[in-house]
Amino acid sequence: MSTIKYTEEHEWVEIDGDSATIGITEYAQEQLGDVVFVELPDAGRAVAKGDEVAVVESVKAASEVYAPVSGEITEVNSVLDGAPATVNEDAIGAGWFVKMKLSDTAELEELLDEAAYQAFVAGLD
């Protein structure tokens, strides 16, 4: 069974065992507007929590996406190369950025559950 956790930087992490899929939240893609380009890292790269793992460019701005957990990138979403708007269409689904193998599952305890994230976003308006 998978679990989704969130960061205050508006990334989501879907956890399935020791694997994690990472993307940006609906709130983040709405704030960015139309996504026109996504720069992804190479598979095999080790990242520490807080490292930049992607850059999202929209008609409004460019924004970095940070690793919410540490691990090794095992796969990138190559669909985004030709269809970056997938992030707008399905941010928490087909618009994922990277998959990684977790190196420290204890870091997951520092992330927000959905209720806490929704409360955090509600406080931003």
Report the distance separating Cα 108 and Cα 100, nearest Å.
Answer: 13
Ramachandran angles phi, psi of 90, nearest 5°: -155, 70
* Domain containing residue 63: CATH number: 2.40.50.100
Question: What's the pLDDT band for 4 if we cut at 50, 70, 90?
Answer: very high
Give me the number of domains the chain comprises. 1
pLDDT in tens, 10-66: 999 999 999 999 999 999 999 999 999 999 999 999 999 999 999 999 998 899 999
56 lies in some domain: yes
Domain containing 105 equals 3-110
Task: Give which of 59, 118, 69 is closest to 98, Cα–Cα.
Answer: 69
